[in-house]
Each structure stands twice: as structure tokens, then as C-alpha cells.
Amino acid sequence: MIGGKSFTAVAINCAAKAGEWIKTKLGKHTSLSLKYSAQDLVTEVDKGAEKMIRNLIMIQFPHHSILGEEGVEPGPEASTQALQDMQDEEYLWIVDPVDGTTNFVHGFPFFSVSIALAHKGEVIVGVVYDPMRDELFVAEKGKGAYVHGQRMSVSEEGTLHEGLIATGFPASPENARLNMQSLQAIAPQVRNIRSGGSAALHMAYVAAGRLSGFWEYGLNAWDIAAGSLLIKESGGIVTDIAGEPYHLGVRHVAASNGKLHDSFISELKKSAAHS
């Protein structure tokens, strides 16, 4: 809170305003371009939503820094550099204006707005908004996580065998290969696999107890920073795929209800060792 303005209230306002606007644009985007690869899409809606969020944050907190996906050159090197340049800022907003652009472009109604605020590198606010279902997931460090104003808790499954686990399919060939190896190892051991196409929403679903776990290779801070706090504040665990604690630089992420995390990590490690 600075001067009476709550960080969380600003994050919620940004996500809600951008999400409402994005919803009105579904099926109506006019420009589609490729970024780093043929699977890496961007529309004027991604750019417009990011601009809207940046403006709303800057009005309230003009001295804060903002790392937004569409403000960074495409590709892993540029995003790593951008995070390195900014992660020590006192207050850093981390914004994914549309998480699930491919879904948005195809009219598959599963995408979200993801906004986190980090203080000296630690996420203290996380908001993920799903405009199609009007679901707002909110977490504040030390104060729990909520959906529809109700406190969230992770699910109870204690074994992979009982788990519903999500993943995403990365665009880069190397990460795609690693993910397929993990998929081959994990799919036969779990109740089932889901892949909805929005990492931020997958993380929110782990927090809400709708998924037991989620992993993906090659993500960026804007995909997972908000979700990481949602999960922690709901009693779950977020690490990298080797089981090391989550920080803003983690790209290969594994998140779960905590109860099956050790077996989850052990399978991910085994599958990575075969590469």
C-alpha cells in the first residue's frame, strides 16, 4: 500500500478492465503476426491490453517498473535479459496481457490476464483473470488466495495415480522435446493429462484444487509469477522441474498440491535424465 492505494486493488482493476476489453475482441482481432516462431502469435489485442494495463499501473505508481510480455523482444535470450535488467527493482509489475493468445486467435475460450507484483524479487501480489468465465483469482503474500471471494485450497490427491495433471506444449524444439519426454513418463502414471493452453490459468486451477499439478518447460516470468503466489497461498508448492524453490527466473516449472510433489519431481527428473 502506498498513499492509500492498495497494490492488490490496482492489480484487480487492471486485470478486470483488460479482461473485459479482451472478451469484446474475441473473434474480432484484425491483425495477427508471428513473433519468434510460427507458433508464437501476437495480435493488436495483446498489445492494446498491455498498453491499457501499463497506463493504469503508471497512473497509480509512476515510480514502479513494469515487465510486460509485449514490451520485450521475442525469444528466450531477450526475455532472460529483460528480467535480469529489472528483477532487482524495488517494485516490479510482471504482466501477461493475454496468456493463451493461440486460444484467443482460434476462439477457444480459455485464456487469461496475469498480473504479479514483485517486491525486491519476491512476488507479493498475484492476480489471474479469466474473462470468459468471469473468474478472478487473487493472492496476497501471507493473506491467502481467493476465487469469487472464497478462500482457495489445493486438492488432496496424495499420489500421481490419483492426480489430474496439466502441461503445455512449448514452441522451441528443445523444450518441446523435453516436454514430450516428460509426458511419456508421466501420462501412464496419472489419472489423466490436460492441456488447456494458458499456463497462468493452469496454475490458478492448481491453486483452486481443480488440477493436482502442472509442469511446463520454457515459460517466462509473466506466465507463472502470479500463479506461483496463488498456489503458495493455497497450500501448494511451486518449484523448478528439479525441485528447487521457485524464483522469478524459473522457466521449467513444476507446481502441485504439495502432497504428490516429491513423486512428480522424481518422474520429471528421471525423464530429463534420459535426454
Footprint on this chain of ligand IPD (rule: CB under 6 A): 69, 96, 98-101, 168-170, 197-199, 216, 219, 223
Is 85 annotated for ligand binding?
no
Is 40 annotated for ligand binding?
no
Question: Strands across the sheet with 164-167, in order?
Answer: 192-194, 164-167, 213-216, 253-256, 237-240
Q: How many CA atoms lie within 13 A of 112 on its CB side?
A: 30
Is 244 annotated for ligand binding?
no
Binding site for Ca ion (CB under 5 A): 69, 96, 98-99, 223
For ligand IPD, the closer CB: 21 or 169: 169
Helix axes 221-233 and 199-207, enclosed angle (nearest 10): 0
| Closest separation in Å from C-beta 217 to ligand IPD | 8
Is 44 annotated for ligand binding?
no
| Closest separation in Å from C-beta 159 to ligand IPD | 26
For Ca ion, the closer CB: 96 or 140: 96
Which residue's entry shows cell 490476464? 113
Which of Ca ion, ligand IPD, none interacts with 175 (beta carbon under 5 to 8 A by kind)?
A: none
For Ca ion, the closer CB: 114 or 234: 114
Mode of pairing for the β-strands spanning 145-147 and 150-151: antiparallel
152-166 core/surface letters (b: 16 or more CB in 10 A; e: else): bebbebeebeebbbb
Please state, in angstroms and rounded to a whole number, the distance separating the CA atoms of residues 197 and 255. 16
For ligand IPD, the closer CB: 60 or 80: 80
Binding residues for Mg(2+): 69, 96, 99, 223
